[in-house]
Homo-oligomer: A and B are copies of this chain.
Amino acid sequence: MDTSISVLAELRGAIGADSVMAGDAMEAKHFADWVVKAAEGAGPIAVAYPRSTADVSAILRVCHAHRIPVVPQGGLTGLVGGATPVAGCIALSLSRMRAVEEVDAAAATITVQAGVPLQVVQEAADAAGLLFPLDIGSRGSCVIGGNVSTNAGGNRVLRYGMTRELVLGIEVVLADGTVMTSLNKMLKNNAGYDLKHLFIGSEGTLGVVTRLVLRLFPKPESVCTAFCALPDYAAVLELLRRARGKLGGALSAFEVIWPEFYKLATTEHGVRPPVGAAAGVYVLMDSLGSDQEQDTAIFSALIEAALEDGVVDDAVIAQSYRESREFWSLRDSVAEFQRTFDPHVGFDVSVPIGRMQEFIDDCRAHLVARYAPVRALWFGHIADSNLHICVKQEPDGPTKKEIDQIVYGRVRAFGGSVSAEHGIGLLKKPYLEYSRSPVELDVMRRVKAALDPEGILNPGKVF
C-alpha cells in the first residue's frame, strides 16, 4: 500500500492531481473492456489521464521506476480483452489526448493524438475534402490509438488495406518513458528499420502510441453495389477473379454469406431477400469510383457477363444509395443476432482463400461429430481471407471452450490464423500457438524483452 500511495503522489506531482484518479474517483468503465472485466478486486490502483506525450512519458517513468504495470486504454471497444486492467496496474487512458493537430492536403496526411475517436478522424478528413478510409462499427467510441495498436481491419481493407497500411508516422512512449517521435509523412522512407511496424498491432505491449500521421485518400464519388446468388464456392472464386480484373483497385468489399446466415437474416430478422430462390452461397460486393455513370457501366457489364456465363445464378445491382444500404442491411443484421442466436461463440479467423469452403465443410463436420444438431453461421470478408463464424451454444451441446478448441483446431489444420482482425489480447492467448510456431513466439518474446525488459507494458496480453 505504501508503494501505491507514493506512486500516486509521484504521478500527481508529475501530471497534476486532476489527471490521476484513484479509489472511488475511478470510473467503472476503466475496470473492463468490451468483453472482459478485471477479476474481482483486481482493478487498477489508479487511472491516469495524460494530456500530452510529455504526460505519458512522465507516467511511464514513474511506473517503470516502481515496476508498476501500465495498461493503455483507448475506447475500450476491443473484442479480445486487450485493454482489461491487471491487478495493481495504472490504467493509462488516452481520452484527454484528442487533438487533431494538422491536415496536410498536399501530402494527403492527417496528424492526430492517439485518443481521437475514429469518427472524428474521419470527419476531419472529410472536412478537408479527403477520406480516411478505416471504418468499423465502433467508429464513434473507438479511438485511433487503439485502432493502430490492434491493427484494426473493417469493411474497406480490400481497397485501402488494414490500419497498418494507413499509418505513415508514429510517436510512441517506451516502457521507461523514452519518447520515440517518428512522425514521418512520406510514402517512401528506407532510412533504417521501419520501426512503426513494431508498435502497430502489438496491442500496447511494446509502447504507448501517442501521436500518428495517417494517410488520406480522395473521396470516392461513386458507389456500385451488387448482391449475387451463386451455385457454389468455386463460382465465388471465379467472380472474385473477374471482379479484381475488371474493377482493379476500385473493388472495395467482397463479402461472402453462406445460406445459414442468409436464411436467419431473411426469416427471423425480417430482412427482405435481395434475390429470389435459395442459392449455394451469396456475395455482396461494392466498388468505389469517381464517376457514377461510367462506373455503373463497368460494374453492370461485369455482373451481366457473370450471369451469362453461369458464374452467378441471380443478381441485383443497387439502383440507389438507399438500395445499396438495404443490401448491406442483410450483412449488418448480424449485430441483431443476439436476439435470435444467443448464446453463441463468435470467431474472427483467417484461412487461405482457396481452401475456405473445404475449411467450412471440415469445421462443420467436426462440430457435427461433437453435437449433431449444431447450428453455425459462416460469413466474412473473403477476399481478405477473413471468415467470421457464429456457433450457437445449446444447453446439451459443447461448452464455449470445446467449441473454441474444435474451431481453432481446424484453423490450425488449415494453416489459418486464429485472429484475422481482432488481435490476441487475453481471450485468444491459449490459441496463439495454433497459428504461430515456437520460433515465432520466441522472436516475439525477444522483441518484447528488448523494448520492455521489466515487462510493465500491458502484461499478460498477447503471450
Contact = CB atoms under 8 A, between A and B. Distances in A.
Given A187-B384, A417-B190, A444 B248 contact: no
B191 A217 contact: no
A186 B355 CA distance: 11
A106 interface: yes
Contacts of A419: 189-191
A462 B192 contact: yes
A190 to B, nearest CB: 5
Contact of A197 (B194, B246, B436): B194
A19 interface: no
A42 B338 CA distance: 70
Nearest to A238: B106
A218 interface: yes
A213 B300 CA distance: 34
Given A180-B437, A218-B245, A248-B250, A194 B201 contact: yes
Given A192-B462, A198-B193, A244-B217, A184 B417 contact: yes
A375 interface: no
Contacts of A447: 193, 195, 198, 447, 450-451
B290 A440 contact: no
A220 interface: yes
Interface residues of A, number: 97
A220 B248 contact: yes
Contact of A193 (B202, B386, B418): B202
28 contacts: A150-B190, A151-B190, A157-B187, A161-B165, A162-B188, A180-B443, A185-B415, A186-B350, A186-B416, A186-B420, A188-B420, A190-B420, A190-B421, A190-B424, A191-B424, A194-B197, A194-B200, A195-B444, A197-B198, A248-B250, A248-B289, A248-B290, A290-B298, A291-B298, A446-B451, A447-B451, A449-B450, A450-B450
B249 A159 contact: yes
Contacts of A208: none
A178 B439 CA distance: 8
